[in-house]
Structure 1
Amino acid sequence: MPKIFLTGATGYIGGAVLARILEHPLQHLSEITVIVRSAEKASLFNRTFGKKHNLNAVVGSYSDLALLRELAADADVVFACADADDLPAAKAILSGMRDKYSANGTPPVLIHTSGTGVLSDDADGMRASSTIYSDLDIPQLETLPSTQPHRDVDLTLVEADSQGYVKTYIVLPSTIYGFASGPLVENGLQNWRSQQIPRLVNVSLQRGQGGMVGKGKNWWGNVHIDDVAKLYITLFDLLDNPSPPSNFTHGRAGFYFAENGEHTLYSVGEAIAKLLSNMGKGSPAPTTFSASEIRQYFPAGTSLGSNSRCHAERGRQVGWRPSRTTHDMLQSVGAEVEESLSR
C-alpha cells in the first residue's frame, strides 16, 4: 500500500475521505500524512489516530508552499481535498510530485477535488439549461473556458499529467448534502456540515421566508457526502487493479462527476419555505431574493442562480454505486433547519 498525503482533513469532503481511508481493510499497511492549520488539532489527530492508523498530522496550510511540495514529494498518492481554486498550492503539490517522479521514475497519483461549479452559467435563476455535461464526453468538457470556476487549476493538472510525471484524477462533486459522520466528527476534528443548502437555510431564517435567486428555475446535480467519499475510494482501489475498467482514465479524460440526481433551486427554496411556514415564519412558497438581499447575504457573489447539470457516467462505469437520491436531498432540508435553529 502506498504512502498517502491528504489535504483538507478537517474539512467536509477531506474528512469524509480520510474516514473511509482509516476504515480501509488494508489501511494498516499505509502511511498517512495530513496537514492541518491548528497545532491543537494536529496533536489530537496524532494522539487519536497516529499509532493505530500510522497517521502523522503536520501543522501547515495551503500558503506553506515549500511544505506542500515536501509532503507531496514523499507521497505515492495525494488526495487534494482543500481549496479547489488555489492555483499556487496546486502547483506546489505538482512540483513535489515531479520531485517524486524524478527520484524513482514512477508517476505518483493525484486525486484532486474540483466541482461542478465549473459548469455554471449566468441564468440568475430565470431559466433552465438544456445543456447536460457528461464526464465521458471530453470534447464537450474542453469547450469550457479557462475563466470558469476551478478551471484554471483543472487545466494545470491535465497539463502536468500530459508531461508524464503524475497521473491526475479530478473529482467534481455537485451540490453535496447530508451530515458527515465517523471517527473524525466524533472527535471534533472535522466540519460535518455542507455549505450550499445550510447557507440557503440560514439566509431564509434571517429573512423569515424561504428564498431563491430569480425564479429558481435553474438546475443543479446533487450527491450525498457518503457517496462522494465512496467515489474517492473507488478510484483509490482501482489504482492497483491489474485489469481496470477501460474508462478508468487519468489526465485529459480523468474527470469524474459526482451526482445521483438533480433538482431546481425552486424545489430547495420551497422545501425550506414549507418548513418555516409550519413554524409560523412566512409563506410556504419561496420568494425571490431582492438585489439588496443578494448584496447583504451573498457579498462575495453566489452561484445559487446558475445551472450546473451533469451526468456522472465515468464513475458509474468504473464501479461507483451512489445510493442517495434527490428525494433524500429534499428530505435532508428538515435536519438542516433544525440544526440551524439549534445554533
Structure 2
Amino acid sequence: MSSKTQVFFTGATGYLGGSVIDRLLKHPTFATSEITALIRKADKAAAFESLGIKTLLGSNDDHALLEKQASLSDVIFSLADADNAEANDAILRGLKKRYEATGKPPIMIHTNGTAIVMDDVKGAYGAKPVWDDTDVAKLDTIPDTQFHRNVDLSILNADKEGYLKAYFVCPSTVYGVPSGKLVDLGIQHTRSIQIPMLIGISVARKRAGYVGQGLNIWPAIHIDDTADVFTVVYDAALEGKAGHGREGTYFVENGHYVIKDVSVKIGEVLRDLGVSETAEPNAFTEEDFKKNPGIGLMGTNCSVRATRARALGWKPKHPIEELYESIRADVEWHLKNVTSA
C-alpha cells in the first residue's frame, strides 16, 4: 500500500474543479500525495496522467465505484454535483470504511454554493439580512428543503458521528476565465453558469432582461479567488486549524452586485454589437419564463459574508468591478461559440 496521502477528486474537468486541480499540482503536498480524478471520458486520461494524476473512469452514477475509491482515500474533493444524494451517500459509505480501517477521520471538502441561503423575491428588492458563515446558530435554521440541503445534512451527520471531517466551500456567482495546465491541455470547461445564462437568454430575445424589477442582489467572486479558497481550507484542515462540520461552512464572495446593473451592462454590449436596438433592459415576460425554465433563479436574493476563509488568510485579489468588466468578453464568446454554432 502506498504511504502517500490518497486524494480522490470528483469534478476535475469542471470550470471550478479544473482550477482547484491546477492549484493542487503546485501545492507543497503534491509530492507526498497520490491524486485520483474521476473522469467520464477515457480520451482525457492521458492528459491527466501527464500531469501526474491518476484517473478512474466512471461517473457519479457508478455508486459502487465511488464507494470503493472513497474507502481508499484520506481526502475527498467533491466538486461534481452538490445535489446528487446517491453519489454522496456512496462516498460517505466509503469514507466510513476508511475511518474504520485507519482510525483517522478522512477530510471531505464538499462544494455546494451560496444558494443554500437564497430566497425567491422575484426581483422585488435587495437581500436582507446578510448571512455570515460564522453565525452557526443562524445557519442551523436553513430549511431542509433549500437547494443542496439534503446532501449537506447527510455530510453534517457523518461529521457529527466522527468518521470524517467535513468542510463546505460555498461559492457565489463565479465569473472570469480560468487559466492553468488543464486549460492549456483542453480538458477543463472554461465557462461559468449564472451570468452566461443571463447573457444567453438576453441574446435570444435580442434585449437584456431581468426578473421583476431586477433589484435583487447576489455575491460574486472571480474563478481564481474561488479556487484559492479550496487550498486555504485544505491547508488549514491538514493542520487541524479549520472549523469543520457545523463550524465548517466557508462562503466565497468579494462583494455583491444588483442583477439589473449586470443586465444594463449586457444591454450596452448587445447594442454595441448590433444584437439589440436598445441598451435598456426590461423585465422578462411570461413567454420568456416558458422558454427558459431556469430563469426564476435570476430573481432570487442572496447576501453572504465570507468571514471564515478570510480569517484563515484568504485574500481575494479581484474586486467586484471586474465582474462588470468581464461581461463584454462573455457576450462576444456566446455570440461566437453558441449563437453562431
TM-score (norm 2): 0.95
Aligned to 1:216: 214
The answer to whether the 8 Å contact 2:19/2:227 transfers is yes
For 1:34-113, list aligned pairs within 5 A.
34-46=37-49, 48-49=50-51, 53=52, 55-113=53-111
The answer to whether the 8 Å contact 2:73/2:106 transfers is yes
- CA–CA distance in 2 between the matches of 1:302 and 1:105? 46
Aligned to 2:133: 135
Task: Choose the corresponding residue for 1:313, options 276, 282, 307.
Answer: 307
- CA–CA distance in 2 between the matches of 1:223 and 1:277? 26
* Unaligned ranges ≥5, structure 1: none
Of stretches 170-179 and 317-326 in structure 1, the one that deviates more from structure 2 is 317-326
Aligned to 2:289: 294
Q: Shift in Å at residue 25 of structure 1?
A: 3.2
Aligned to 2:16: 13
Matching of residue 235 in structure 1 with residue 223 in structure 2: no
- CA–CA distance in 2 between the matches of 1:80 and 1:129? 29
Aligned to 1:202: 200
**CA displacement 1:15-44 (0-9 Å, x = unmatched):** 111111012133122100000111112233
SS state of the match for residue 293, structure 2?
coil
Task: Choose the corresponding residue for 1:256, options 239, 250, 254.
Answer: 250
The answer to whether the 8 Å contact 2:133/2:249 transfers is yes
Cα RMSD for the two superposed structures = 1.2
The answer to whether the 8 Å contact 2:134/2:307 transfers is yes
- Identical aligned residues as a percent: 40
The answer to whether the 8 Å contact 2:211/2:296 transfers is no
* Unaligned ranges ≥5, structure 2: none
**CA displacement 1:29-83 (0-9 Å, x = unmatched):** 210000011111223322x22xxx2x21111000000100111111111000010
For 1:262-281, list aligned pairs within 5 A.
262-280=256-274, 281=276
Task: Choose the corresponding residue for 1:178, options 169, 176, 179.
Answer: 176
Q: Shift in Å at residue 239 of structure 1?
A: 2.6
The answer to whether the 8 Å contact 1:138/1:252 transfers is yes
- CA–CA distance in 1 between the matches of 2:116 and 2:163? 25
SS state of the match for residue 183, structure 2?
helix
SS state of the match for residue 55, structure 2?
strand
What is the one-letter code of the residue matched to 2:238? D
- CA–CA distance in 2 between the matches of 1:282 and 1:209? 8
**CA displacement 1:188-219 (0-9 Å, x = unmatched):** 11101101111111111111111111111001
Aligned to 2:26: 23
- CA–CA distance in 2 between the matches of 1:12 and 1:258? 16
What is the one-letter code of the residue matched to 1:16? S
Between the two proteins, the alignment pairs up a number of residues equal to: 333
Of stretches 85-94 and 276-285 in structure 1, the one that deviates more from structure 2 is 276-285
SS state of the match for residue 304, structure 1?
helix
What is the one-letter code of the residue matched to 1:294? F
Aligned to 2:149: 151
Aligned to 1:338: 332
Q: Shift in Å at residue 301 of structure 1?
A: 5.3
Q: Shift in Å at residue 131 of structure 1?
A: 1.2
- CA–CA distance in 2 between the matches of 1:180 and 1:62? 24
SS state of the match for residue 45, structure 2?
helix
Q: Shift in Å at residue 240 of structure 1?
A: 3.0
Runs of 4+ in 1 over 6 A off after TM superposition: none
The answer to whether the 8 Å contact 2:173/2:194 transfers is yes
- CA–CA distance in 2 between the matches of 1:86 and 1:113? 12
What is the one-letter code of the residue matched to 2:235? D
The answer to whether the 8 Å contact 1:210/1:282 transfers is no
